[in-house]
Every structure is written in C-alpha cells, then in structure tokens.
Structure 1
Amino acid sequence: MRRINVAIAGLGRVGSQFLDALLSVSTDAVKVIAVAEPREELESVKKAKERGIAYYRDARDMLRSLEDAIDVLFDLTGDAIVKTELYEILSQTANKKTIIVPEPVAFLIWSLLNSKA
C-alpha cells in the first residue's frame, strides 16, 4: 500500500482544524510528516510536536529540508509571497513529486473529512 506524506504550512484557525481532521482519520495511507508555523506557542503546534510530527517555523525551510519526501503540501498560510516562493523552491530543486494544495482545495477536503465524522 502506498503512503501519502502530508505537510501543512500554516496552523492558524483553518490549518489547526485541518490538522485535527487529518489526525482523526485512522489510516496508514496518509501521514502528516511535518508542519510549519511561525507561532510556536499555538496549541496546534504543541499537538503536532506531541505526535512526533516535524516542526518548522517557516514553510520554505520545511520544503527545502524535506524536498520530495512530501507528497502533498497544504498551503494554509494565506500569504501570497510564501505561496509564490514555495513554487519557486519546487522549480529550483527540480522537485516534480510534491504537489502544493491551495486553501480552497484544502477546505473541500476538510469538509469531506468532517462530513464523515
């Protein structure tokens, strides 16, 4: 069985709910391997660390560090500059594996996860 490695950039209001939804799904097929959030004091960051999920203060550093170990990167930062720079990093590193998912698609997935709960 193939496993999808997920990373989440931005653990604010939307990102923290998204993290909770992904962590509530009991499956070996999807694993949250890393999160990025500049505000380390957030409960969602503490929760991620407690679960052994790698933590980064900056999404760009996370992507550079993990490179193509990330299958899906949910960009929930709401920051246009970060979004642009994440795509630039993919281009510079020739990473053709990682897919960056924007907020509207993440919201769709989160809605589907919550409708089954």
Structure 2
Amino acid sequence: MQRIAIVGLGRVGSRFLEAMLGRASRGLEIAAVAETGQTPGRAAAEAAGIPVLSLNELLGQAAGIDIVFDLSGQLAVRQSLRQGLATRGNSRTVIAPESVARLVWSMLTSEDLPQVHTDTGY
C-alpha cells in the first residue's frame, strides 16, 4: 500500500486528485491533502473524507506518508517541504515534483494535465 499526499489542489492538483481517487482501490491511499484555498479539489477531498491539512500539519504526519506530490507550483512551498522533512529527520518520505506527477498522469490517461505553472525547477 502506497500512502500519498497531495499539496496544492488548484487546476493541476484537482485533476490529479480525481485520477488518484479512481485508483484508490489499487494499493493506493490518499492519506491527506494540503490546500489553503476553497478549490474544487479541496471540496472533492473533503467529500471523500480525506483530511485537508495545513502544510505544517502535513509535515507533522509525513512519517507515515510514502510520497508527497507537490503540485503547488510555488518554489517557497517546495522549499518548505524539503526543509520541514529534513528538520523532522524524515528521510523516508519522497517529495515528487510536478514533473513526476505528469509522468504518472501520462501512464493513467491520454488527457493532458493543465499547464499553468512556470518551470521553477526542483
């Protein structure tokens, strides 16, 4: 069982969450999401009973999460994730940037994820 979290449920993250919800019975558990805005993805997570956490709360629970998909498109969030895991001594949880989410997405569907974030590196 792979336990994942998704950070950022805007246009990209909302679509990714939809796809992952459809795969939940295949050895995948969405342990939590982090989103500050009132987005369709946040509403979908809440409706599915997935905990919606702050970034700090997510980092506090990350020891039980295998992969965090960072779909925020914000360099500051990416830095906070890396720093937060390091500060907590968590070398187990993997942070998957948007490029990895796009790879996973391409294996699940022939549709494209929205291209809304600039390439800020990782």
* TM-score range for the pair, normalised by the shorter chain length: 0.7 to 0.9
CA distance in structure 2 between the partners assigned to 1:26 and 1:9 by the alignment:
17
Residue identity (%)? 38
Cα deviation digits, residues 4-60 of structure 1 (max 9, x gap) = 100000001110010001111252411111011110x2121111111110102x323
- In the alignment, residue 57 of structure 2 is paired with which amino acid? D
The two structures, once aligned, show a CA RMSD in angstroms of 1.3
Partner of 1:52: 49
Cα deviation digits, residues 66-112 of structure 1 (max 9, x gap) = 13111100000111111011111111111121100000110110121
CA contact (8 A) 2:24 2:30 kept: no
- Structure 1 length-normalised TM: 0.87
CA distance in structure 2 between the partners assigned to 1:86 and 1:98 by the alignment:
10
Partner of 2:58: 62
CA distance in structure 2 between the partners assigned to 1:9 and 1:81 by the alignment:
12
Gaps of 5+ in 1: none
Greater helix fraction, Structure 1 or Structure 2: 1
Partner of 1:114: 109
Matches within 5 A, 1:1-117: 3-39=1-37, 41-56=38-53, 58-64=54-60, 66-115=61-110
- Structure 2 length-normalised TM: 0.84
Secondary structure in 2 matching 1:95: coil
- In the alignment, residue 16 of structure 2 is paired with which amino acid? F
